[in-house]
Structure 1
Amino acid sequence: MNSNLPRAARVIHAALRSVPPDQATAAARALDSARLLTDPERSFGVLLHRAPDGDWSRTPRRSDEPGRRAAPSQPEGPAAPEPEPEPVRPVTELERQALAWDDSCARARQVARAVERQMHGHPGPHGIRVDGDRVRVLLRVDDPAQWARWRAYLGLTGADERSRPHTVTAQGERDGVPVTVVARGSGTAPPSRAGGPERRPFRLDGTRFDLALPQRDTNGDLWYFQGCRTPDGMPLLSLDGRPERCTLAQVQAQLGPLSPVRPSGRP
């Protein structure tokens, strides 16, 4: 029973005076049934706080306070199975080619840095340029012995050597990286024979060409024979220091007529 009922009845009886005590009690009960009276002994529940160790407490508790239980090292029950790893997707041929190209370019940059260190203090104009997976080097060489040392260091071969007055262009390989070198200087040109420049005649459509001499086209550009031919024997020509090659017939048809440039400078 609500302990406030007798007090409520006394208050009602004192207020009305003419009402009998039984009627005052009945009125107080009616008020209590209508939940208009507060019961001081009634419990409305207890607020509990979750402790860091998973327990419950009437007051908030920090993790460093006593009474904290050690958390279980392993969860109860069977362990959940580990997820299976995703299958590895095979590398496509295009991706493999791209990775191989990136590796070739990285090796070319390494070789370029090594050649640059080797050229430190080298007299005269010089330069190094990385062109994709190959290295291009510009050198000044003043004597045959110096040129021989550079040829040995850069792995240059004489088979692809191309010459013109005071300049030699050669190709080789350094640490597996293609290297193209343009060497300039009076001591770099291959010696000519005592009887004059070597003559390498070739006849095309009734016109006789001396492939030992540079050929000037109608635009004034010079074309050089590098010693390479097509399977049917047609000579291949290239512009100054460029690796691209065109057949003599194509150059003659599109940029001709060609005229030889003799050592004196007169065509």
Structure 2
Amino acid sequence: MNANLPHVALMIRRGLHRYVPDLISPETAARLESVTLTISRDLDSAGLIVDPNRTYGIVLRRRPEGQAAPEQSSGLEKEAAAWDAACTRAQDLSLRLAAEWAPRPEVLTVVQDHDRVVVALQITDLRQWETWLTGLSIPATAVKSIGYAAVVDVMLQDVPLRITAHDVPELAMEAAHADGGDA
């Protein structure tokens, strides 16, 4: 029961006594009390009376370990659990990539960015870039040149991965000129 219902009923009773005193008599007292309680309950059912003991909105229930509680998970709780899982996958991938690739001289950063992994490279030789593409099974068609950098946005192990390789377009142009081709 809404803890504010008795107070609301009292306010309705006072209002009736004040604004329609002609309707109030000893004969109508029982009927008046019934009407007062009915109005109070109707207002509460309509959500017009704040209940101090009720939590409004969606409450995310979590276990101490951080996972969403399985009982009656709302859509928002399911989304939160999916987000947590995506962030965990991204963290695992970033740690694996950092362990395997960070010692290389071209690596500037390998970081987790929430649910994705971001890698920044300073390429000084096109063979370094080719090693990355081959090592991560990234097709050449996934590479986009944006200004002075080559950018790759792919999914790797169900994790969005962005690799930004600085100076690749310039090195490719130099290589094309060295081969006698026009850029």
TM score, norm. by length of structure 2: 0.50
- Bigger strand share: 1
TM score, norm. by length of structure 1: 0.36
Structure having the higher Rg = 1
